[in-house]
Amino acid sequence: MKILKSLYINQLFFNILLGIGGVFFISFFVQWLFYIAIALLIVFLLITFADIFILFSVKTGLEADHQLPERFSNGDDNTVVIHISNLYPFTVKLSVIDEVPFQFQNRNFLHSINLSGNNKHETKYLLRPTERGEYQFGRLNIYVQSSICLISRRYVFSENVIVQTYPSFIQLRKYDMLAFSNRLTEYGIKRIRRIGHTMEFEQIKEYVQGDDIRTINWKASSKRNQLMVNQFQDEKSQPVYQIIDTGRTMQMSFHGLSLLDYSINSTLALANIILKKQDKAGMLTFSKKVDNLLAAERRSGQMEKFMEKLYNIKTDFSESDFSRLYVDIKQSIKQRSVILLYTNFETIDGLRRQLLFLKNIAKSHFLIVIFFDNTELNKIIFKSSVNIQEVYDKVIAEKFAFEKKLIVSELEKHGIQTILTQPENLTINSINKYIELKAKGVI
């Protein structure tokens, strides 16, 4: 027992010695680590100060600016360009953060660029506005880093720039250019053969080789003792009014754009085509009351008037009053005109409540009712059903889609022309209808 106790004491003594030795060793090692840490800190501070000196020794190391369009085109991709000039003599790393307008809800805008010394760079990105009005850009922030990448220097440019968003003038230019280059068929615009003799008499002139012999005026030829022909010109100066319903039914959104804005974009593009065809273009809007009346004219500044009228169109989300529309049309539009009415009917009952007023308008004018196919319902209809609930949804969607066809049938039964279109095809189908009616001599 004494030996065991002695052995235990010796073991305890050994542990104590080992512990004391470990403490001395660790303290010695920690002391060296402390010196190493101080040295590393000094080196780090020196490198940091060197990085600061490199970035801030130049008063202006960077120049940048926004190249914004004068106007945004609603519903289209608009290009924004950022020009950057590196005035540093070495390569820098740039982080470009543009504070885009809040309407786009883009909170993660960041472009990273490596730009060599005394060089320039151009960054482009696209913005697609979906509502008209003012869009305010915040600051253009650019953070610069040298190759050391410890410190960033911030530059701020182009603060609080406002760009106004107008109806789609990009769409207007596209169809205008296609019309003049005879390439409308590429976008679904139909080539329609002119039927009959939809021309008006202009003058009698002498026959020259190549004139249509069917236009020879034999009475005038006998008097002049030489062949004379009648010269005709296309019928012109037909008043064409586009009427936009700004009620609550037009606030439904497809692909981020409301039916109201689709109608506004189509109105602008079609008005341009109407004026190019030598007809008179006019417009008005209605909801509880009639607003934004623009008389049908063919003057040089008519398109600018269209642009300003369409830019300011708002809605009060109320029920549209078709009886008020009929009364105002009767009072304001005296000459028989072509009227394209942009509205939306979801049910046959909704149409029947307004049908009397549409029939009365059609008695005095050539009325074309334009309304919209619900493409969201089409997704449900053509989707395979996997459970009872989806079967019910599909049946209801098919019922609403069938009611759209009933609406077309009901309007045509009363002699009213219709266009049932998907929202994204509205402009194409509206232009098609106008060109078709012009070619057939209906208008």
Q: What would the pLDDT profile of 397-432 be if each residue is shown by its tens digit?
A: 888 889 999 999 999 999 999 999 999 999 989 988
pLDDT score of 6 more than 70: no
Question: Do 140 and 187 belong to one domain?
Answer: no
The secondary structure element, H or E, covering residue 85 is: strand 78-86
Question: Do 333 and 387 belong to one domain?
Answer: yes
* DSSP secondary structure code for residue 349 in this structure: H
144 residue type, one letter = V
34 residue type, one letter = F
pLDDT score of 21 more than 80: no
Q: Enter the pTM of the model.
A: 0.76
Q: What would the pLDDT profile of 51-98 be if each residue is shown by its tens digit?
A: 889 899 888 889 999 889 999 999 999 999 999 999 999 999 999 999
pLDDT of residue 264: 94
DSSP 30-69: HHHHHHHHHHHHHHHHHHHHHHHHHHHSSS--EEEEEE--
Structural domain of 100: 62-166
Q: What would the pLDDT profile of 285-335 be if each residue is shown by its tens digit?
A: 999 999 899 999 988 889 999 999 999 888 877 889 999 999 999 999 989
Assign residue 237 a region: left if phi > 0, alpha if psi is -120 to 50, beta otherwise?
Answer: left
Angle at 313 between CA 244 and CA 275, to 5 degrees: 60
The larger pLDDT score, comparing residue 437 to residue 344, is at 344
Question: Do 98 and 126 belong to one domain?
Answer: yes
Question: Do 69 and 150 belong to one domain?
Answer: yes
Question: Do 308 and 402 belong to one domain?
Answer: yes
pLDDT bin (cut points 50, 70, 90) of residue 219 is confident
Question: Do 302 and 160 belong to one domain?
Answer: no
Q: Give the residue among 341, 367, 345, 327 at the shortest CA–CA distance from 284.
A: 341
Q: What would the pLDDT profile of 102-146 be if each residue is shown by its tens digit?
A: 888 888 888 899 999 999 999 999 999 988 989 999 999 999 999
Question: Do 245 and 370 belong to one domain?
Answer: yes
* Cα–Cα distance, 132 to 73 (Å, whole number): 9
Residue 364 burial by Cβ neighbours in a 10 Å radius (0-12, 13-18, 19+): middle
Question: Do 227 and 248 belong to one domain?
Answer: no
Question: Do 380 and 421 belong to one domain?
Answer: yes
Number of compact structural domains in the chain: 4
* Cα–Cα distance, 136 to 121 (Å, whole number): 24
Q: What would the pLDDT profile of 369-391 be if each residue is shown by its tens digit?
A: 999 998 888 888 888 878 888 88
Q: What would the pLDDT profile of 170-184 be if each residue is shown by its tens digit?
A: 888 877 765 555 555
Tell me what the mean pLDDT of segment 219-229 comes to. Answer: 85
Question: Do 300 and 384 belong to one domain?
Answer: yes
Question: Do 322 and 230 belong to one domain?
Answer: no
Of 116, 149, 166, which one is at a domain's C-terminal end?
166
Question: Do 291 and 226 belong to one domain?
Answer: no
CATH number of domain containing 125: 2.60.40.10
